[in-house]
Structure formats: C-alpha cells, structure tokens
Amino acid sequence: MDYLDNATTKVMAVVIIQSIMKNTTCISTSDKIEALFDLIKGLIKDMDGAQDDELDEEDFKEEQNSVARLIHMLHNDDPEEMLKILCTVQKHILQGGPKRLTFTVPSLVFSSLKLVRRLQGQDGDVTGEDVPATPKKIFQILHQTIEALSCVPSPELALRLYLQCAEAANDCDLEPVAYEFFTQAFILYEEEITDSKAQITAIHLIIGTLQRMNIFGVENRDTLTHKTTGYSAKLLKKPDQCRAVYACSHLFWTDDQDGIMDGERVLLCLKRALRIANAAQQMASATRGSSGSVTLFIEILNKYLYFFEKGIPQITNTVIQDLIELIRTEKQSDNSVADPSTEAFFSSTLRYIEFQKQKGGTIGEKYEQIKTSS
C-alpha cells in the first residue's frame, strides 16, 4: 500500500472496507484497528501532496459514508476493550479535518452510546491509573468528539448529538452530565444557529428531549424549561412562535409516575399561544386585508383537548367551549375563501368530541357539557 499513489490507495481502502462489510468481519481489538486504519488512511485523512481540487464531491461522500459504516462494524463484548477501540477510532477520525467530521463523528457517537447503554447503572467513581470503562468516562470522550464539530462548523448536527447524549446521561442517572450536554446545546442554539428554519427544528428537538428527561431537580429543570419557553417566543414568525410555545406546554405535564404535573403552567403556555395566534391574525388582517387562517386556533384547541383528557383541573369544559366559539367567530369574520384543509381539520376535531361523548363512562361525562353544534 505504501508504494501506491494517492488515488490507488483510496481505491484499495474502499475495496478493503467493502470486503469487511460483505463478509461481516468483526474487528475486535484496538491493535487490529490501528493496523486497519493505517491501511485505509487514504480515506481517513488528507494525504501529503493530495490536491483539494482533485476531489469529486460524490466520490468523497461515498468514501466517507463507507468509513462511517465501518465504525459500526467494530465491536468487542468486553467493555474495557470496546472503550480502547472507541479511543483509537476517535484519535484517527479527529485528524481527518473538518470536511470528514460530519460523516464520521455521528457514527462514533452512536457506537459510544451503544456502549453506554450496555454499562447503564455502573457508577464511575473509581479513580487511579486503571479506570474501568464507565458511562462517565465515555461521556467525556463524547464531549470532546462532538466539540470537534465546531471547526466544521456544523451546529445543527452538534446540537442533535448533544441532545442524544443528554438523553443517554438521563437514563444513566447522571444529572450533572445531562445538564452539561443541554447547556452545550443551548450555547449552540444561541450563538451558532441563525437560520430561522434551523431554529424551528432545533427548538422542537430541545422541547422533545427535555420533555423525556426525568432526572433533573427542580432548580435545573426550571432553568432549562424557562430558557426553552423564552426561545420559543422569540422565533421570527408568529405562527412558528405559537407552535413552539404550545409544544412547551408538554414540559409541565408528563405521564411518568414521578413526572411533573403543573396544570397552572400548562394553562399559561396555552394562553400565551392563543395570544400569539391572535397577534398573527391581526398582522394578517393589517397586511392582507383578511384575518388569515384559523388553523392555529384549531391546533391550540386540540392541545386543550389533550390536556383536558389528562385531567388537568385548570382546563375545564367551559374553557374548551369558549375556544370553539372563538374559532366559529373568527371563521365568520374572515371574508376570504374558506380553506378546505382548515375546514376539514375543525370538523374532525368536533367529530372527535362527539365520538368521546358516545363512549359513555367517565370520558363521556367529561365531554357531555361541550356543545359542538352552532
């Protein structure tokens, strides 16, 4: 291999990887991986004298995807040896330069998280030279690995990976680690993610991950939920603000046994979403002459119904009735042509209420007071 030119070295490296994949060869020690990565170094890092303009974008992607797949083939049942493997892989891929990291880092992160899941429940407070493989130690490696993406830069990918790690730390009962990963995700959101579409995706990922976290104490959870609701209300477009704010209502009511159940704050989120939807209507009215779609109100009504069924005392049938009437009024005052999808959405929601009434029992009784016919 050492005598081949750069192009042929790459071709041979791809052939080696394809052979490993085809025969599902298990490479199970860090020494073997050192040797393997030495053979395929043409794909792992820039070779001396290689010209950037020689790169074909499609070929490059294909080569890096094959390296990413290879990382998933490296396995050892012994956690100690598996940790050595991950450290070896990390050492090699971090030398690959910014172009390659977006392909190879996610594979390494998910391979590491697989090991974390295997070790769940083992505490890593053992000190000394010979520290065994523990979740804490692997999370340190993960932190360094994801941090390397900042030189790409690829903030959206890094944010997703930080949230994945936070969830794994949650399952391992490591609150400080989970909090640190969330902090990193928030820093990326504040400083790096500027595109409004990327912000919408990011905020919904943050809300979804935070909602599943059950490890945080009151203070840490309050800090994170406060930040999240604040970001949601600062999105650029009013409809996006509204959707993110009503999604935040789920942060205050979870179905777990020891889950958080704060009906007051759920209601606050939903009321805030209604105010934003109202502002969106007024803006549409001022700029386009029509009051705009009532879709946001119907979406919020569906959230109210969800929490109504969960038994939140603050959400009563009177509140739901008022919202149904508000949607009807808004529809009548809108002088533009009715949107068929909005009409269908509203009809389906009302049909659902009728369907729940017919169920009888406690559910039927709850819904009995709500009138759906105008």
Instruction: Specify the range with the lowest mean pLDDT, choosing from 9-18, 55-64, 128-137, 210-219.
Output: 128-137
Find the largest Cα–Cα distance for the chain. Answer: 83
The pLDDT-based confidence of 336 (bands split at 50, 70, 90) is low
**pLDDT at residue 53, rounded to an integer:** 53
372: which 2 tokens?
A: 């759906």
Sign, CA dihedral 146-149-151-156, equals negative
pLDDT above 70 for 372 = yes
Q: Position of tokens 């594979």?
A: 107
Report the pLDDT value the prediction gives residue 51, as an integer from 0 to 100: 57
pLDDT reported for residue 97: 84
Domain residue ranges in the chain? 1-46+61-117+135-149
What does the pLDDT read at residue 291?
A: 60
Give the H or E element holding residue 25: none
Say which range, 11-25, 60-74, 329-343, has the weakest mean pLDDT: 329-343
CA 194 distance to own-chain centroid:
17
Check residue 194 and give its pLDDT. 92
Mean pLDDT of the chain: 89
Q: Specify the range with the lowest mean pLDDT, choosing from 24-28, 133-137, 177-181, 216-220.
A: 24-28
pLDDT at residue number 151: 81
d(CA 288, CA 202): 30
Quick check: 171 pLDDT over 90? yes
- Phi then psi for 74, rounded to 5 degrees? -90, 120
pLDDT for 345 equals: 95
Q: What's the rounded mean pLDDT across residues 353-369?
A: 89
Of 16-20, 81-85, 336-340, give the lowest mean pLDDT range.
336-340
Using the 8-state DSSP alphabet, how is residue 96 labeled? S
Per-residue pLDDT band at 129 (split at 50, 70, 90): very low
User: Which regions of the chain does DSSP assign to beta strands (E)?
Assistant: none
Residue-wise pLDDT for 102-115, tens only, equals: 999 999 999 999 99
pTM over 0.85: yes
- What pLDDT band is residue 64 in, cutting at 50, 70 and 90? very high
Measured between alpha carbons, how far is 246 from 272 in angstroms, rounded to an integer?
Answer: 8
Q: How far apart are CA 194 and CA 173, in angstroms?
A: 33
Q: Answer yes or no: are the C-beta atoms of 72 and 111 closer than 8 Å.
A: yes
Give, to the nearest 10 degrees, the angle between helix 340-358 and helix 361-368.
120
Q: Which range is most confident: 117-131, 135-149, 326-340?
A: 135-149
Determine what percent of the chain is predicted with pLDDT higher than 70. Answer: 92
DSSP string for 182-222: HHHHHHHHHHT---HHHHHHHHHHHHHHHHT-----HHHHH
pLDDT band of residue 335 (cuts 50, 70, 90) is: low
* Over residues 21-43, mean pLDDT: 88
% the chain with pLDDT above 90:
61
